[in-house]
Chain A
Amino acid sequence: MESILQVDQLSKSFGKIKAVNQLSFKVGKGQVFGILGPNGSGKTTTLSMLLGLIPPDKGEFSWFGQPPSKESRKRIGSVIESPNFFPYLDAVTNLQIVADIKDKPYDDIDEVLQLASLYERRFSKFRTFSFGMRQRLAIASALLGKPEVLILDEPTNGLDPQGIAQIRELIALVASRGTTILLASHLLDEVQKICTYVLVLRNGVMLFSGDVKEVLSVSDSIEMAAADMHLLKTAVPELPGFSSITETDGIIQVHFSSTVKTSEVNAFLYQKGIVLSHLSEKKRSLEQHFLELLQDTP
């Protein structure tokens, strides 16, 4: 896969705090890449370095196989933290400034405003916009000039459910056109729904990275209960792919390191003479997995 972004040992400290610590990763063309981490984990600092706002202490990165420059930034559309526009200018003028900087024609402006459902308000001053509209204008400006990469930092932060849905639809649409997307979020649900690849960040250190589907597939567990719980507990470890067992309120949760079918489990236990009174498959959400990942490392 053609590499769009390559990050190598990137580090940045603010005083004694290591905001980003030896971070390395690669984003391929067309990927929807999620950077997941709690608040203060270094997501925005990382993106700020990648966009030339903060000089890194150590490490390197390259965009489109070249050292970073203003020219590479012109090929990237970004929304970092809050939408930043002149409050006293209307939407069109604000976008014209963006187009001027990016050396792009004004032709796209109407189109991106329509995409963001702001066309009717295009001559309204930015200060009159609601929070959701501001966020949508930021995304509209990021889409200006058909960027090859879209960088979104907490794009749905603080939005109402309708606003969140609108933004996610917009992202899905852009992704379907083959645009590479780099999304930073503290919401697992968001990453789970939008991204194909995820990097988990905590205290500036990468804990984990991999395909979103793979992350999900290793996180299966099955809940069981039987009349004879003791017998059940001795039989369960013999199941293929068994990894661990936990018990709550007369029900045991059995975790597996590989995918297991409930029907196979049932058949196996029946052969052992155990009749289950409860059998239920629990797909652990990425959230649980994420929390576990965060707990594992002190």
Chain B
Amino acid sequence: MIKLLRIEFKKIRSYKVFWILISLYFVFLAAGILLAEFMINHMVNNINSRMPIPFPHVAIYYFPDVWQNVTFFASIRYVLIFPAIIMIILIANEFTYKTIRQNVINGMSKTEFLISKLLIILLMAGVMTVILAAGAFFIGLSHSGFNEVDFFSKGVPFMMGFFISLICYMVYAFFCGFILRNTGLAIAIFTLYSLIIEPVIYFFLRAPFMFKNTIYTYLPVNSVIRLTEYPAIPMLKKLMGLNLQDHVSFVACLIPIGYAVIMTGIVFWVMNRKDL
């Protein structure tokens, strides 16, 4: 286990593309989170200028809602695509450079090879979740101060939800890179599906002329994003009567986990039958 992680770590330690992409992810994420309140309130100001009774400003950086809000921003499609692309590159590179063959020739079993990639997914998801949690904690602390009573009630469930989202989405990416074996093609298809095709399908499934159903909740990417689907903005909830998410649904977690398990199963099955 440790040995496999050590090998994986050597593969990425001086791989610039990896560090650039992971940095971009955090830069985008930090910028998104830190500008969000400003942008929302800017919109509120615009509306207020035409309204007799002004809306109050929103505050999204307070405990305990800050936990939910950062995970919401961190799992927006356009942001979550970064770790997925990293994962596609890491697996497809092994085919492009034929290092997967060399690893097996040198005495790594095919199963070990796959486990090493799954371990890297777990590790990346873990580290990214911890970084996000630390960020959320400091944002929350700097806005709420120490006199807040409810620090953590949303912390653990939403961070767990985000952790599961990351793992599942990266497993999808791993699956895509493994099956297509080509970096460019896999990134193109994965991005296209995640950002365009599935949203279009989602739109039609939810369209008014469709009979009422919940099939859309079973779309693979949507099911990942749905784990932390809405930000917590109490004001919106009160004003508009929207029934926004206030917890991570355990049942909802099972959908992406199910997909991830099936995909992992297919990858193992293919690996042990197909020629390298």
**B209 to chain A: which residues have CB within 8 Å?**
none
Main secondary structure of the interface of B (DSSP, over half): helix
By size class, the interface of chain B is 20 to 34
By size class, the interface of chain A is 20 to 34
CA distance A52 to B112 in the complex (A): 14
A51 close to B105 (CB less than 8 A): yes
B3 close to A82 (CB less than 8 A): no
A residues 41-80 in Cβ contact with B at 8 Å: 48, 51-55, 70-71, 73-74, 78, 80
In the complex, identify which listed stretch (A98-106, A182-190, A225-233) lies at the interface while the others stay far away: A98-106
Chain B residue nearest to A69 in the complex (CB): B109
Partner of B15 from A52, A85, A88 at Cβ < 8 Å:
A88
B57 CB within 8 Å of chain A: no
**A101 to chain B: which residues have CB within 8 Å?**
7, 103, 106-108
Partner of A86 from B99, B109, B273 at Cβ < 8 Å:
B99
A97 CB within 8 Å of chain B: yes
B10 close to A73 (CB less than 8 A): no
B residues 222-276 in Cβ contact with A at 8 Å: 272-273, 275-276
Q: Shortest beta-carbon distance, A148 to chain B, in Å?
A: 13
Instruction: Tell me the A residues contacting B by CB distance below 8 Å.
Output: 48, 51-55, 70-71, 73-74, 78, 80, 82, 84-90, 93, 96-98, 100-103, 141
A sample of 8 cross-chain residue pairs with beta-carbon separation below 8 angstroms, ordered by A number, consists of A52-B105, A52-B110, A74-B106, A86-B11, A88-B15, A89-B14, A93-B10, A100-B10
- Given the interface pairs A55-B273, A70-B112, A93-B10, the reply to whether A98 lies near B101 with Cβ below 8 Å is no
B11 close to A70 (CB less than 8 A): no
Q: Shortest beta-carbon distance, B47 to chain A, in Å?
A: 51
B3 close to A51 (CB less than 8 A): no
**B11 to chain A: which residues have CB within 8 Å?**
86, 89, 97
B6 CB within 8 Å of chain A: yes
Partner of B276 from A54, A87, A89 at Cβ < 8 Å:
A54
Chain B residue nearest to A47 in the complex (CB): B105
A51 close to B10 (CB less than 8 A): no
CA distance A141 to B107 in the complex (A): 13
B105 close to A97 (CB less than 8 A): no
CA distance A101 to B162 in the complex (A): 33
Main secondary structure of the interface of A (DSSP, over half): loop
Further pairs besides A74-B106, A86-B99: 16, Cβ < 8 Å: A51-B104, A52-B104, A52-B105, A52-B110, A53-B101, A54-B276, A78-B105, A80-B105, A86-B11, A87-B97, A89-B15, A93-B13, A93-B14, A98-B106, A100-B10, A102-B106
- Given the interface pairs A78-B105, A84-B97, A84-B98, the reply to whether A100 lies near B7 with Cβ below 8 Å is yes
A-B pairs, 7 with minimum CB distance = A74-B107, A84-B102, A84-B98, A73-B107, A70-B109, A53-B276, A54-B275
CA distance A96 to B9 in the complex (A): 12
B99 close to A84 (CB less than 8 A): yes
B50 CB within 8 Å of chain A: no
